[in-house]
């Protein structure tokens, strides 16, 4: 089974990239963030023509998440149940017995800002919810754009980013607390190339100079980590014309 996540930064603009990527990689499940589409504008027909069905929750201009899958999911959840949040950032369903949770964590803008406080509150609510979900689902995947680089290895210039949003200690601690519930960072289960990132700034030739951050993640419950055989960041779509600033990541799971 192949599970993937990709912040597409506007599905309207990136739909051709997504369809090409689906055809080339054939994931069983692909989670998308920053679709930036209201539900009535979601391109279900184009995606269905590629052999995928979709669940989605979106809004105008900002945020929006979707889960594309070969098989239908059950027990859909939209948003973090205990969090009263109009922003469309969370979508979850069960696929092939696995509870998939697609998230788009708030960016946080700047350490100390109102949006940063919202990010930390949001992460605290996420932790409480994931604790509940793990108690109910041994097979669980939490994946998406976390907007947190967990470790110095995940930052092209840790000195420059020290204390900055996406790499500040409170954010990294919140990430570790989620892991502490019983999740593993699939990317670090395997040997990886040095300087592996999932996001590069559009400006200053960030991608060409590999000035990136690893802020998109696929976290696996212990049960699933045991059967995970690979985790790969695919930089191919980042090289296309008009790319998303994020690259997709994919894990492969063997038989239970």
Q: Toward DNA, which CB reaches closer, 95 or 116?
A: 116
Does 215 help bind DNA (rule: CB under 7 A)?
Answer: yes
Q: Is 61 in the site for DNA (CB under 7 A)?
A: yes
Asked if residue 235 binds DNA (CB under 7 A), the reply is no
Residue 78 DSSP class: E
Is there binding between residue 209 and DNA (CB under 7 A)?
A: no
All residues at 6 or more sequence positions from 40 whose CB lies less than 8 Å from its CB, including other chains: none
Interacting residues of 52 by C-beta distance below 8 A, sequence separation 6+: 22, 30, 68, 69, 70
- Active-site annotation holds for 137: no
- The secondary structure of residue 246, as a DSSP letter, is B
On whether 145 is known to bind a ligand per the annotation, the reply is: yes
* Residue 171 contacts DNA per CB under 7 A: no
On whether 34 is known to bind a ligand per the annotation, the reply is yes
- Residue 245 makes contact with DNA by CB under 7 A: yes
Q: How far apart are CA 210 and CA 241, in angstroms?
A: 17
Region of 20-28, 56-64, 151-159, 168-176 interacting with DNA (CB under 7 A): 56-64
Query: Residue 19 contacts by C-beta under 8 Å, 6 or more apart in sequence?
Result: 46, 47, 50
DSSP 203: G
Active-site residues, by number, are: 104, 145, 246
Q: Which residues bind DNA (CB under 7 A)?
A: 7, 9-10, 12-13, 34, 36, 60-62, 106-107, 109, 115, 145, 147, 165-166, 199, 201-204, 213, 215, 242, 245
């Amino acid at each position: 089974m192949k599970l993937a996540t990709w912040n597409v930064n506007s599905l309207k603009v990136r739909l051709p990239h997504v369809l090409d990527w689906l055809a080339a990689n054939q994931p069983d499940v692909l989670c998308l963030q920053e679709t930036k589409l209201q539900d009535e504008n979601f391109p279900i027909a184009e995606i269905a023509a590629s052999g995928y069905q979709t669940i989605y929750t979106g809004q105008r201009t900002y945020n929006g998440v979707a889960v594309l899958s070969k098989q239908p999911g059950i027990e859909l959840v939209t948003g973090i149940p205990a969090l009263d949040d109009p922003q469309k950032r969370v979508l979850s369903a069960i696929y092939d017995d696995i509870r998939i949770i697609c998230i788009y964590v708030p960016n946080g803008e700047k350490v100390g800002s109102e949006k940063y406080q919202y990010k930390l509150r949001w992460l605290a609510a996420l932790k409480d919810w994931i604790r509940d979900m793990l108690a109910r689902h041994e097979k669980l995947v939490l994946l998406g754009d976390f907007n947190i680089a967990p470790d110095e290895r995940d930052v092209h210039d840790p000195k420059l980013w020290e204390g900055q949003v996406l790499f500040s200690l409170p954010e990294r601690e919140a990430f570790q607390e989620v892991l502490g519930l019983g999740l593993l960072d699939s990317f670090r289960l395997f040997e990886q190339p040095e300087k592996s990132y999932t996001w590069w700034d559009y400006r200053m030739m960030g991608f060409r100079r590999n000035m990136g951050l690893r802020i998109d993640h696929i976290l696996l419950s212990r049960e699933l980590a045991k059967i995970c055989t690979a985790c790969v960041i695919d930089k191919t779509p980042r090289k296309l014309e008009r790319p998303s600033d994020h690259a997709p990541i994919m894990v492969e799971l063997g038989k239970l």
